[in-house]
Structure 1
């Protein structure tokens, strides 16, 4: 089911973190995954993230801020 305002994951949009020239010359490049908060939350106000056996909660506040708690 499609959420209003949420792009399908197959469609790539340039996000602020897509800056190929922000690394200093000669610096080692690392892989960065950039996901918009709209895609991550998919209409919900909370996302649970499992990391190394612990569950973290990422919440979106009514003011649009993000809070990460363990």
Structure 2
């Protein structure tokens, strides 16, 4: 009868997370360009105000689902 031991476990490097999955659309964007969904920006609201360089803009979603940006 042979004495079979389980292989010894040594401290290994911490498991690395897999690289983030990217879609083909995201890969097509120029370097430094981010893509956000309108849902992420509006967060359930129909209209938000955006302040940019001292001016206030309104981003509004229409009943047809289109976006309108006005100053």
* TM-score range relative to shorter protein: 0.5 to 0.7
Output the TM-score relative to the length of structure 2. 0.59
Query: What CA RMSD, in Å, does the superposition of the two structures yield over aligned residues?
Result: 2.7
Moved over 3 A (4+): 12-17
Structure with bigger helix share is 2
**What does the per-residue CA deviation read over 1:18-50, in whole Å, with 9 as the maximum and x for residues that have no partner?**
1x2x47xxxxx5411211011111110011111
Count residues in correspondence. Answer: 52
Q: Whose relative contact order is higher, 1 or 2, with alpha carbons under 8 Å and at least 6 apart?
A: 1
1:67 alignment counterpart = 68
Larger radius of gyration: 2
Unaligned runs of 5+ in 2: 1-19
Where structure 1 has 5 or more consecutive residues not aligned to the other structure, the ranges are 1-11, 24-28
